[in-house]
Structure 1
Amino acid sequence: MHPSPQTRSLYDRDFYAWTQAQTEALRSGKLDQLDIVNLSEEIEFLGKQQRQELRNRLGVLLGHLLKWHFQPRFRSKSWIYTIREQRREICRHLKENPSLKPYLREAIALGYENGLDMVGRETPLDPDQLPQSCPFSEFQIFEEPIS
């Protein structure tokens, strides 16, 4: 049995309206009007999204670096620009979220797993035949010239 619309909270009925109400309560100092439980969950989720963003971008970058290194005959302008874009966006993301830097090594390891999956999907290479942990140094990942 589902709760009626009248008994469901604003958070459940209209998330956007809930965000606006929470913003107004914060700005006006009406802390007693805050939905602390849902607000804290949403803030925690925002933090997790930043970590996920880093892992996802690293997965794309590392997948392209794997393709670049293990399929030199198929190198393309598209790969160059994807590598450049991901490097730039990761650096921006870390600059905007410097507290993620201690997480970088773990994010590289997790992103590498996704990069292997990308290689498996997009190339004839067998990911099981590639290094199972990231073979690239941070210099190779973020700064090594691609040409």
Structure 2
Amino acid sequence: MTSKLYDIDFYAWTLEQSQLLQEGKWQSLDITNLVEEIESLGKQQRQELRNRLGILIGHLLKWEYQSEMQSKSWKATIREQRKEVLRLLKENPSLKSYLGEAITDAYESGLALVVRETPLDYPQLPLECPYSTAQILDPAFPEGL
């Protein structure tokens, strides 16, 4: 029944699994799907970090490469995304070991954001992320923000 419930009513399945855990009914747990869902939760944290870094890096690029267009909105986005990245890292310290890889992956998203939202095109932008991890996370970077 547990496995079928997972397929037909995920929310009810989560309630059931939670109750079984609280009651210590280990034999009744849907271990296969529980493992999959727990792994998925970890992947979601990594994805959220990449997404937020992509937006942050994209706006840092816009800020630098379209300085004449700098706006209050860009500044707010940079601050908001940086705050959320730092919150994620604080709440999930083990994500710090993934940060370098996340920045590399997020840079592609950041480039796509710039190309989509500005007149700039890929050849006008660096092939690799021009910002260090410290710069990306530094609330005082870039100067004048």
TM-score greater than 0.5 by the shorter chain: yes
CA RMSD of aligned residues (A): 1.3
**What amino acid is aligned across from residue 12 of structure 1 in structure 2?**
D
Q: What is the TM-score when the length of structure 1 is the normalising length?
A: 0.92
Q: What is the TM-score when the length of structure 2 is the normalising length?
A: 0.93
- In the other structure, the counterpart of 1:47 is 42
Distance (Å, rounded) in 1 between the aligned partners of 2:17 and 2:89: 28
Deviation larger for 136-145 or 33-42? 136-145
Is the contact made by 1:80 and 1:146 (CA closer than 8 Å) also made in structure 2?
A: no
Gaps of 5+ in 2: none
- In the other structure, the counterpart of 2:126 is 131
Q: Per-residue CA shift, 1:62-101, capped at 9, x if unaligned?
A: 0000000000000000000000001111000000000000
**What amino acid is aligned across from residue 50 of structure 2 in structure 1?**
R
Cα displacement (A) at 1:32: 0.8
Is the contact made by 1:55 and 1:110 (CA closer than 8 Å) also made in structure 2?
A: yes
Is the contact made by 1:51 and 1:100 (CA closer than 8 Å) also made in structure 2?
A: yes
Aligned-pair identity in percent equals 62
- The alignment status of 1:92 with 2:87, answered yes or no, reads yes
Select which of 1, 10, 33 maps to 1:15.
Answer: 10
Cα displacement (A) at 1:108: 0.4
Distance (Å, rounded) in 2 between the aligned partners of 1:139 and 1:18: 42
Q: Per-residue CA shift, 1:23-64, capped at 9, x if unaligned?
A: 000011001110000110000000000000000000000000
- In the other structure, the counterpart of 1:3 is none
SS of structure 1 residue aligned to 2:107: helix
Tell me how many residue pairs correspond in the alignment: 141
* Mapping 1:98-109, distance limit 5 Å: 98-109=93-104
Runs of 4 or more off by more than 6 Å in structure 1?
none
Distance (Å, rounded) in 1 between the aligned partners of 2:16 and 2:144: 49
Gaps of 5+ in 1: 1-5
**What amino acid is aligned across from residue 124 of structure 1 in structure 2?**
P
Cα displacement (A) at 1:137: 1.4
Cα displacement (A) at 1:133: 0.7
Deviation larger for 134-143 or 21-30? 134-143
